[in-house]
Amino acid sequence: MPPPMKPVKEIAPSIYQVLLPLPFALRIVNCYLIRDTEGWTIIDTGLHIPEGPQTWLQAFSDLNIQPGTLQRIILTHYHPDHYGLSGWLQSWHTEQGFPPPPVFISAIDGEQAHIIIQSDGRQVSVLMDFFRRCGMPEELARLLTEDIQKLHRLLQPPPNRFHILSPGETLVVGDYRFHIIHTPGHSDGHLVFWDEASRILLCGDHVLQHITPNISQWPTTAANPLGRYIASLKQLESLPVQKALPGHGPVITDWQGRLQELQHHHEERLAHMYDAVQPSASVYDVATRVFDFPSLSYHEMRFAIAETRAHLEHLVHLGELALSENGVWRYEKSSQ
């Protein structure tokens, strides 16, 4: 048996990375603990699978963190792998007689979490309707919608309430003074945290080194998430980042280089999607031409569909495709 992976390491002064396991191909979400004189701040939380709380308890034991010393929980965005254990971390405090640490998130993603995660299944019909409009066969739409219910069990208990973080504010944790920046794309309300003195950026899932962040257009997503994502990559190009601490995968050290690679990736993906619209196509048609669809898990199929829709919508915004709708969204090349 290989030795158990040590889940905690100090990755920058007073910043500890905690590796939380995930039951997906992605395998791990990177969460962070930051120490200051008053106690600890958590950035992102993992999913409520049995190994999740075990990993946090191991980290707390390694760093001698007692209940009552967690000051706040910060979520970079509302996605399940980042949000999922925020309520459990609060209950770890309340069960031992301490007040729960407040959970902070952007106003936009707090609203998304309420609609999508905390709506007791009301999203089922919305999602079925979305998959139908994407042109997906009815049986597959049903399977993908049913499968998402499993995820909801991994997000219990929910946090008691959200406190709001606003872009432009400064979050002071120990010696760090993090400037809060809104970076829409991966989610509408995604936030990153920039400390100018150390040139450290907590970048959530906005920029990842080993994979390209998923940019999806769901029923609740604001218009053209890919256009807003590319704009927010450009906006961050001028930051002199020395170390970006991401939500998945290794620390990013070549910041400008990675931003350019991501922009290039989306240009290529847009060209593939454009070519796959021949002469007209639904979202599902394009997704099955661009992705190796049958080899994907249901979880991955959902992302492939929503990512395809984000790219096709961006091509509509650029004037390269035209959209018509008759129960199913159909795209065709504007020049034809």
Q: Which residues here bind Zn ion, judged by CB under 5 A?
A: 81, 205, 247
Q: Which is nearer to Zn ion, 81 or 285 (CB)?
A: 81
CB of 208 to Zn ion, least distance (A): 9
Which tokens go with 318?
A: 């650029």
Measured between alpha carbons, how far is 287 from 316 in angstroms, rounded to an integer? Answer: 16
Q: Identify which of 39, 29, 38, 124 has the alpha carbon closest to the alpha carbon of residue 86.
A: 29
Task: Please report, to the nearest 10 degrees, the dihedral formed by the alpha carbons of residues 157, 159, 179, 65 taken in order.
Answer: -70
Which tokens go with 268?
A: 């290529």
CB of 323 to Zn ion, least distance (A): 29
Residues ≥6 apart with Cβ < 8 Å to 237: 256, 259
Task: Please report, to the nearest 10 degrees, the dihedral formed by the alpha carbons of residues 141, 144, 148, 150 taken in order.
Answer: 130
CB of 236 to Zn ion, least distance (A): 18
CB of 216 to Zn ion, least distance (A): 12
Mapped onto helix, strand or coil, the DSSP state of residue 172 is strand
Is 17 in contact with 245 (CB distance < 8 Å)?
yes
Q: Which is nearer to Zn ion, 101 or 247 (CB)?
A: 247
* Count of residues making up the chain: 336
Measured between alpha carbons, how far is 328 from 326 in angstroms, rounded to an integer? Answer: 5
What's the Rg (C-alpha) of the chain?
20
CB of 313 to Zn ion, least distance (A): 22
Is 301 in contact with 214 (CB distance < 8 Å)?
no
CB of 77 to Zn ion, least distance (A): 8
Q: Which is nearer to Zn ion, 217 or 288 (CB)?
A: 217
CB of 39 to Zn ion, least distance (A): 25
Q: For residue 92, what are the CA distances in angstroms to 11, 19, 95, 257?
A: 25, 19, 6, 41
